[in-house]
Amino acid sequence: MAEILVAMSGGVDSSVAAAMLVADGHDVTGVTLKLWGGESDSGCCSVSDVEDARRVAQQLGIDHHVFNFGDDFDKHVIAPYVEAYDEGRTPNPCIECNRHIKFDKLLRRADALGFDLIATGHHARIVTDADGFLRVSRGADSAKDQSYVLHMLDQRQLRRLMLPVGDITKERVRELAHELGLRTATKPDSQDVCFIHSDGGRRKFLGDRIPLSPAVIVNRAGQQLGSTDAVQLVTIGQRKGLGLAGNDDRNYVVDIDRRNGVVTVGPESETFDPHTELVDVAWSGTSVDGLLHIQCSAHGSRATGRLEGSRVVWDEPHRRVASGQSVVFYVGDEVVGGATAA
């Protein structure tokens, strides 16, 4: 049996992941990561979540620690998030948290403390392909699948990782939590972005850190239809919240010129592209030629296309992908690589 450090967020998934490993006879220790020091009402990064994780660990009879990685979180997640919006990109903060904190900083801390493995409550699986490469694969519960946000994990990280709840549904996770009497059994799922408070949302968070710039909203003919006081909050493909006096249903954001303060809207047909330019293309093993299943957001629809150099050529025109979003490649249910929309 292995010595395993389990990242316990205070939610039901990581609580059950720890319980499953204990039931399998492993030597389990729980750890909660203190990342965000500001206000949080999203179901993670709060004092109550630390307490929930501690109490679950107590119920399971395992040790529990709190690691403060706040400085690393500010450096690798918060600062890039703000910078991305300031430069006109749409970031994936949860992916950057996984990349730099949960599967880098935490794994290195686990190494220093002598643990064999780490584990999380993500709904995804680790499989071995025909060439012997470890791959992240979709979880058993397709509605809760989190393979998209784990696409960046490399072979070294995958060898050290366990995902206990990836083989069961969310319904079964809650059933197990009830059977064990865990205090997190009925706890709601957390929101994706832990540091965005519902009071003020993204506007307040960014507005407290960077100056928000106004822009005019025009159609393709250059006719002004409205305006916005925060161009940083406008995204490609956006339809709602433009304040265009009832015309929102017919107008989608098709271009954003932040430098000159101009947002161009047009019909839905103009939000589709035959291809998407990429940067930072990386494969989880060997590169894959031919048709790929491709996902462009954590809960987005899946499409098919082929990678040609540094672009995806879609089988059918695809909704334009905002710059900064992760584009993840699958063969069947297995993640084979990923990139970032240019």
**CATH code for the domain in which residue 315 is found:** 2.40.30.10
Same domain as 11, residue 95 = yes
pTM exceeds 0.95, yes or no = no
In a domain, 188, yes or no: no
Same domain as 114, residue 98 = yes
Determine the Cα–Cα distance for residues 224 and 64; give it in Å rounded to an integer: 58
Contact 272, 319 (CB under 8 A): yes
Same domain as 176, residue 68 = yes
Indicate which residue of 44, 45, 94, 194 is catalytic: 194
Structural domains counted in the chain: 3
Indicate which residue of 44, 45, 94, 97 is catalytic: 97
3-class SS at 8? coil
Closest CA to 46 of 197, 229, 247: 197
Cα–Cα distances (Å) from 309 to 65, 87, 253, 306, in that order, read 46, 25, 28, 10
Same domain as 50, residue 171 = yes
Same domain as 217, residue 92 = no
Same domain as 250, residue 118 = no
Structural domain span for residue 63: 3-122+163-180
Closest CA to 277 of 241, 232, 308, 244: 308
Same domain as 298, residue 243 = no
pLDDT at 332: 94
Same domain as 174, residue 279 = no
Determine the Cα–Cα distance for residues 102 and 98; give it in Å rounded to an integer: 5
Answer with the one of 266, 286, 305 that is the final residue of a domain.
266
Contact 278, 338 (CB under 8 A): no
**Backbone phi, then psi, for 198, in 5-degree steps?**
-65, -25
Q: Could you confirm whether 194 is annotated as catalytic?
A: yes
- Give helix 12-23 / helix 170-180 axis angle, nearest 10°: 70
Same domain as 220, residue 314 = no
In a domain, 131, yes or no: no
pLDDT in tens, the chain (342 residues): 899 999 999 999 999 999 999 999 999 999 999 998 766 655 566 678 999 999 999 999 999 999 999 999 999 999 999 999 999 999 999 999 999 999 999 999 999 999 999 999 999 999 998 888 999 999 999 999 999 999 999 999 999 999 999 999 999 999 999 999 999 999 998 766 888 888 888 999 999 999 999 999 999 999 999 999 999 999 999 988 888 865 555 889 999 999 999 999 999 999 999 999 999 999 988 889 999 999 999 887 789 999 999 999 999 999 999 999 999 999 999 999 999 999
Same domain as 169, residue 317 = no
Closest CA to 283 of 144, 131, 139: 131
Report which DSSP code applies to 154.
-
Please give the structure tokens belonging to residue 337: 């690589």
In a domain, 206, yes or no: no
- Give helix 12-23 / helix 47-60 axis angle, nearest 10°: 20
* Per-residue buried b or exposed e for 246-274, using 16+ beta carbons within 10 Å of the residue's own CB: eebeebbbbebeeeeebbbbbeeebbeee
pLDDT at 158: 97
Q: Could you confirm whether 44 is annotated as catalytic?
A: no
The letter for the amino acid at 142 is S
Same domain as 176, residue 29 = yes
pLDDT at 299: 81
Cross-strand pairs, 32: 66
Handedness of CA 185, 96, 135, 338 (dihedral sign): positive
